[in-house]
Structure 1
Amino acid sequence: MIRPVSRTWLVLDIVGAIVGFAVTAPLSFLAGTNELSVWIHSGPIAVTIYVVVGVILWGAAAISRLSPALALGIAWIGAVIQMGAGLPPSAYNIAILLILFATSAWGSRRVLWIGGVSALGGGVLGGIYFALIWSGLLTDASSTLRVATSAALIGSVFVLAMVMSWGTGLLWRVVVKGRETQVAKAQAEAVAAEEQERVRIARDMHDIVAHSLAVVIAQADGARYAAAVQPELAQEALGTIAQTARGALSDVRMLLTQLRHRQGDGPQPTLADLETLFAQVRHAGVEPRITVDPMPPGEPPAAIQLAVYRILQEALTNAIRHGDGAVDVHLAWLLDRVDIQVRNTVTGERVVGQGGHGVIGMRERAQLVGGNLQAEHQGAQFVVRATLPIGGRA
């Protein structure tokens, strides 16, 4: 029954209703010797009823935004009192048009349709009421025809005015709903875009940090054991650790800059960076056996190159962390797709691909370019297979 309305709008509605009553009520007295003027000058009781009806109608208009249903009910009470007292329609009946507008603009669905029925029925009732007022003028068939025609015409005007007011409110309702839908859609799109960006940065961060830390850990373990017997190998391992850490730090700074300043993507790895990746893996103590057959037919799209690099990076990181020191990598660059397969033996009790984000990240990488990826255990081996389509090459 009661809508949440700001205090400003409520004050404006009340002030507007007071002004409306102050303007419309005196207009009836300016009608001269018409029937309404005669009715008003018939006594103080008639004037009191006239003022009461005007206050009721404009009072209902004052709360029409706050409670359209209550305002419509009060307006009907005022109209019934007006017709019961035999008071003809006056200028203050304009308040009814405002109330009908409110029922369709701000009322509930039920109030909306009740307002529509009230607009149609109120107009028809107004025509019938005029016919009853003029019934005293019926003297013959011609006068009856004139009264009926006049009442029908006035009733049609009433119906048209009330339905137009109700329809204007309905149009306003549709416009407001459309704006709310657009705002909600824009907010949803903004949230989705932020979520995608957050997932992308998290995926890149995981790929960079996980791989770099795996290399650093492997090199640190090797340097610790080699320090006692082969100091030169320890020095080489420390150099690899420093180089890997610097590269990871640079990549992390770039990602943080993108996150903070919403900049575009910085330089991304390509196929030319695979040799550097394989060298890091070798320094970590894992020897990848690489097969590329057939070779790339031209320059693959940058998105495909990035996906291939990141998938191989994560698969090789898993091999460093959970493998036995050997891994088989096979790339097949076909005309319409590239097939990737990485296979390594799993050592220890830890199950690869459970509880982490690596496999999820690889699968997302493949899906982003329209491909698919499967990662599964086959006996003692962990196998990653991916197929990435190369658009426009079929």
Structure 2
Amino acid sequence: MIRPLSRTSLVLDIVGAFVLFAVAMPASLAFYAPGSLSTNASEAVAIAAAVVAGLLQCGAVAVGRLAPGIALGVAWLGAIVQMTAALGPLPINIAILAVLYATAAWGGTRTFWAGLGSVIVGGVVAATYLVFVNGLLAGVSVASTIANIVLFSIISILALGAPWLGGFGWRMLLRSRASREAQALAEVSAAEEQERVRIARDMHDIVAHSLAVIIAQSDGARYAAATAPEVAPEALGTISQTARAALSDVRMLLTQLRHRQGDGPQPTLADLEQLFAQVRQAGLEPRVTVDPVPPGEPPGAIQLAVYRILQEALTNAIRHGAGETVDVRLAWLPDRVELEVRNDVAAEVAAGAAGGHGLVGMRERAQLVGGSLTTERGEGEFVVRGMLPIGASMETIG
């Protein structure tokens, strides 16, 4: 029944209703009320009724936006008081038009349709009242009287319906604006969610790979300290280098979170050799086959996807692999690149591992560029296969 409304808006509505009463009420008393009296009503009663009707109708305007349903009821009460005193149309009745506008613009569902019903019922009641009570164009025959009622009903409905239609138009405008704002908020929320997923995926790729290398090197350094102390410094150097690189990447991602800056430099195919070197330092030898080689410069998104997928696949091989080698195959075809990473795993890993964030991240990487990725476990092997489309042709290297 009561809508949330700012204090400023409510004050403006009350002031507007007061101004309307101050302007229209004197005109109503001077020009209409005394001349429209019935034979059974005194002028004093008619003036009092006009004032009461004006107060009710202007009061309805004051609360039109705050409570459109209540305003409609008060406006009807004012009209009934006016008709009870046999008064004709008054300038103060402009307030009724404002109330009908409010019911269509800001009323709830019931108030909205009650406003439309008031337009129709009020139009017919006003026409009948004008013909029978005020004797306006009363016909000498039943047919002419009915014709006059129909004519005035149409005129009254059009007059009352115009502000209601105006309010309906404003209602549609507000709904359209709210829909656009909701859509904009949804798009911003979706973009932020995608950004969070992207950063979480990058964080996982960076941290998981770096920690896998660090753990492998730490275990090797602990073993070397007892058997071959001269190897330990090299392992510690690899740990330091890997940790520093991971720290730099993590700082870049945190900067993006705080300042929403650009993505910054991303790994390319030129960084694969450094990735393979880290895998070798972790104690796993990658056997890399590239056939055919890229005929040109692949798109940056494809280079990043290939790097991140291989990084995660090699990290899984370091963490869960049972052998000392991992097979990596890349085939750069004119319209796609196919990749495969194959490594041995222990029987319990092959049977029980269901995959975690890393496998999900690899699939997301492939899907983001329109490709696909599958994983397969069985017979002591774990295989990652991916296909990434790169278009009909690639930019030729100068």
TM-score normalized by the length of structure 2: 0.90
Query: Which residue in the other structure is 1:184 paired with?
Result: 182
The range that moved more, 350-359 or 328-337, is 350-359
Give me the whole-angstrom Cα distance separating, in 1, the residues matched to 2:310 and 2:384. 9
Give me the whole-angstrom Cα distance separating, in 1, the residues matched to 2:159 and 2:12. 24
From 162, 171, 190, the counterpart of 1:173: 171
From 214, 236, 250, the counterpart of 1:252: 250
Q: Are the counterparts in 1 of residues 335 and 389 from structure 2 also a CA contact under 8 Å?
A: yes
Q: Are the counterparts in 2 of residues 31 and 37 from structure 1 also a CA contact under 8 Å?
A: no
Query: Which residue in the other structure is 1:206 paired with?
Result: 204
Q: Are the counterparts in 2 of residues 216 and 241 from structure 1 also a CA contact under 8 Å?
A: yes
The range that moved more, 231-240 or 304-313, is 231-240
Query: Which residue in the other structure is 1:328 paired with?
Result: 327
2:225 is the counterpart of 1:230: no
Q: Are the counterparts in 1 of residues 33 and 47 from structure 2 also a CA contact under 8 Å?
A: no
Aligned pair count?
Answer: 392
The range that moved more, 357-366 or 246-255, is 246-255
Structure 1's 81 and 37: CA in aligned 2 closer, same or farther, altered over 3 A?
closer
Q: Are the counterparts in 2 of residues 57 and 78 from structure 1 also a CA contact under 8 Å?
A: yes
**Alpha-carbon offset, residue 129 of structure 1:** 1.9
Q: Are the counterparts in 1 of residues 137 and 148 from structure 2 also a CA contact under 8 Å?
A: no
Query: Which residue in the other structure is 2:122 paired with?
Result: 122
Structure 1's 340 and 40: CA in aligned 2 closer, same or farther, altered over 3 A?
farther
Give me the whole-angstrom Cα distance separating, in 2, the residues matched to 1:243 and 1:228. 23
Structure 1's 80 and 32: CA in aligned 2 closer, same or farther, altered over 3 A?
closer
From 264, 272, 276, the counterpart of 2:274: 276
**Alpha-carbon offset, residue 332 of structure 1:** 1.5
RMSD: 2.7
2:62 is the counterpart of 1:62: yes
**Alpha-carbon offset, residue 18 of structure 1:** 2.4
* SS of 1:18 mapped into structure 2: helix
* SS of 1:265 mapped into structure 2: coil
Structure 1's 136 and 296: CA in aligned 2 closer, same or farther, altered over 3 A?
closer
Q: Are the counterparts in 1 of residues 37 and 46 from structure 2 also a CA contact under 8 Å?
A: no
**Alpha-carbon offset, residue 38 of structure 1:** 8.5
The range that moved more, 310-319 or 37-46, is 37-46
Query: Which residue in the other structure is 2:290 paired with?
Result: 292
Give me the whole-angstrom Cα distance separating, in 2, the residues matched to 1:372 and 1:256. 29
Q: Which runs of 5+ in 2 are unaligned?
A: none
Q: Which runs of 5+ in 1 are unaligned?
A: none
TM-score normalized by the length of structure 1: 0.91
**Alpha-carbon offset, residue 4 of structure 1:** 2.2
Query: Which residue in the other structure is 1:383 paired with?
Result: 383
**Alpha-carbon offset, residue 279 of structure 1:** 0.9
Give me the whole-angstrom Cα distance separating, in 2, the residues matched to 1:353 and 1:172. 60
Q: For residue 222 of structure 1, what is the amino acid of its counterpart? A: G
State how 1:37-116 maps to structure 2 within 5 Å. Answer: 42-116=42-116
* SS of 1:228 mapped into structure 2: helix
State how 1:352-363 maps to structure 2 within 5 Å. Answer: 354=354, 356-363=356-363
String of CA shifts for 1:26-73, please: whole Å, max 9, x gaps: 102332897237989933222222222112212222222222222212
Q: Are the counterparts in 2 of residues 40 and 47 from structure 1 also a CA contact under 8 Å?
A: no
String of CA shifts for 1:134-171, please: whole Å, max 9, x gaps: 53876968xx9998887766554432221110011011
**Alpha-carbon offset, residue 211 of structure 1:** 0.7
Give me the whole-angstrom Cα distance separating, in 2, the residues matched to 1:46 and 1:33. 6
**Alpha-carbon offset, residue 218 of structure 1:** 0.7
